[in-house]
Amino acid sequence: MILPFLRPRAGRWLVERRSHCGMVSTPRRRLRPLIAMLVLSLLALAACGGGDDASESGSACAPSGEKVTIDFWSWVPGIEHAVELWNEQHPDIQVNLSKVPDGRAGTYQNYNNAIRAGRGTPDLGMIEYDRLPDYRLQNALENIGPCGAAAARDQFVDYTWPLVTFGEQDAVYAVPEDTGPMVLYYRADLFEQYGIEVPRTWEQFAQAADEVAARGNGAHLTNLAPVDFGGWFAALAWQNGARWFDWDDEGWTVTIDDEPTRQVADLWQQMIDNGDLSEVPTFTEEWNRALAEDQLLSWVGAAWGGKLIELGAPSTEGKWAVAPLPQWQEGAQASANWGGSTYAVFEGSDHPYEATQFALWLNTHPESVAILNEEGGAYPAAADGTRLPALTGPQPFFGDRDIYQVINEAAGNIDHDWVWGPTMSTTFSTLEDEMAGVLDGAQSFRDALDATQRETVEDLQAQSLTVTER
C-alpha cells in the first residue's frame, strides 16, 4: 500500500507517495494531455510490483474453455437486439443483459455501491468517457489489454484510445462504443415560420432566442435545466477553448472558471435574465411533449441525440434539420464532444476474456454497430463505423437530409487535447446543484462556476492529489 501525503513547496502543493519501497516520484517530463489524467494514481498502483498492478491482473486473461454466461449492464435503447444476435451466433458465450437507467440516473451509484460492498458489479458495464477515470482511480476495472483489446487498437478512431488506456503500456481498461460530436438540431419548418435564419454565431443564437420568446406564445428557441447539465456545459466551454483540467510534474491545475468558460456562462446568463429559455428538463416526457408540440425550436445536442428526438417526438418526422454549432468567431468551425461511452470489465469478473470478446464484437461488427446506431443513435467509435449505410445519405426522420455529413464534419473539428479530471462526478454534481440556484435567480452563473471550482479543488485534495495554486 502506498500512502500519499502533501507538503507545500514555493506556494504550490506537491504530492509525494511513500511506501516501504521508498519514494515514488512523478515523471519529470510533460505528458500528453489526454493521457495525463491519471498519472499520479497509476504510478501508485504500479509501484513495487504489487498484486493489484495492471500487468499481473491482465496476465490471467484466458478463455474459460467452457460455456459461460456474462452479466452485462447498458442503457442504450435497442441494444437487446444486438445481444440477441450475439447469443444466436455464440452459443458458448451467452450474455445476460440488464437494461439499466442512464449512468447519472442511478447506474453509477449502483456501481459504486457494489464496488464498496465487494460484490454485485456486472462482468461488463457501460461507463461514459468522463466517468472512466473515477473507476480507474478506484482500481475497479480489469486490464483487458491481454484479453484481445490491445490488438484491436486499429479498429477504433484514434482519439478514443488514450481515453481508455490512460497512457499505460499494454493496458486497456474499456472498449470504446461511441462519441458525441456536437451540432445544432433545429426545426426547419418553425425557423421558417418565425423568420429565423440558422445562427452561425452564439450572438445570433441569443438574438434568435430573444425573438422567439418575445412572441409570447410559450415557445422558446431552446431549454436550459440543471438535469444532465454538467457534461453539456463542459462541451460548450470546450468548444470555446476552455481547459478545465491540466497536469504536469507539479500536479493538477483546475480552471473551471477560466475566461472562455465565463464567456459561455455570460451568454447563457443573458438569456436566463431575459426569460428567453424554457426550463423544461432535457430527456424527460415533458421535454418530449415540448418538442412534439412546437414549444422548442432547437436543441444544442450531440450526434447520439437525433435518435432521442425521433423516439421522443415521432410526430415531428421530416421537420428537423442539423447544422454546425454556432461559433464564437464568425467563420470558425469548432465543435466539441458531449458524452460517448465505453464498456469496461469490472475487477473480479470470472470471465474477463469472454466479456472483452463480446465488447469488441458489439462495437466493431457491422451488424451490431448498425443496430446500435439505428436503435440507439450511437455515433460509432469504430474506425469503419461512419461508412455504414445507416450513417450515409438521406435520413428519413430528418426529411431525407444527410445529417451525418454535418456530424462527420463536426467530429473532425474537435480539439482532442481536452482533459477530463479524475473526479468528474463531484464536478458535475456540484455544477448541477449550483445551476438550480442560477435558474431560481438566487445567484449568478459565475457564482456557480466559482463554487464548482472550489468544490473540485477540495475534492482532489481530499483524494491526496496535487492541486497547484493559480
pLDDT tens across 281-310, in order?
999 999 999 999 999 999 999 999 998 999
Determine the average pLDDT of the residues in 252-256.
94
Query: Has residue 22 got a pLDDT over 60?
Result: no
Left (φ > 0), alpha (ψ -120 to 50) or beta: where does 283 sit?
A: left
Query: What's the DSSP call for residue 138?
Result: T
Residue 26 CA: distances (Å) to CA of 14, 30, 109: 10, 10, 32
Do 14 and 7 form a contact (C-beta atoms < 8 A)? yes
Closest by CA position to 2, among listed 21, 25, 29 = 21
Instruction: Report helix, strand or coil for 163.
Output: helix
pLDDT of res. 370: 92
- Helical H segments across 342-402, by residue range: 352-364, 366-376
Confidence of residue 26 (pLDDT cuts 50, 70, 90): very low
User: In a 10 Å sphere around its CB, with 0-12 CB exposed, 13-18 middle and 19+ buried, how is residue 130 labelled?
Assistant: buried
The model's pLDDT over 63-108, given as tens digits with 9 standing for 90+, comes to 999 999 999 999 998 999 999 999 999 999 999 999 999 888 899 9
Percent of the chain with pLDDT over 70: 87
360 phi/psi in degrees, rounded to 5:
-65, -45
At residue 267, the pLDDT reads 98
pLDDT at 220: 98
Cα 394 to Cα 179, 376, 389, 391, 404: the distances in Å are 21, 18, 10, 9, 9
pLDDT digit string, tens, across residues 175-223: 999 999 999 999 999 999 999 999 999 999 999 999 999 999 999 999 9
Predicted confidence (pLDDT) per residue in 193-205, tens digit: 999 999 999 999 9
CA nearest 267: which of 244, 300, 290? 300
Task: List, in order of start, the domains of the chain with CATH numbers.
Answer: 3-49 (no CATH), 64-179+340-390 (3.40.190.10), 182-337+418-462 (3.40.190.10)
User: How does residue 469 score in pLDDT terms, banded at 50, 70 and 90?
Assistant: low
Q: How far apart are CA 246 and CA 48, in angstroms?
A: 27
Q: Is the pLDDT of residue 9 over 50?
A: no
Of 101-110, 428-437, 445-454, the one with minimum mean pLDDT is: 101-110
Predicted pLDDT at 56: 43
> For residues 224 and 277, is the Cβ–Cβ distance under 8 A?
yes
* Model pTM above 0.75: yes
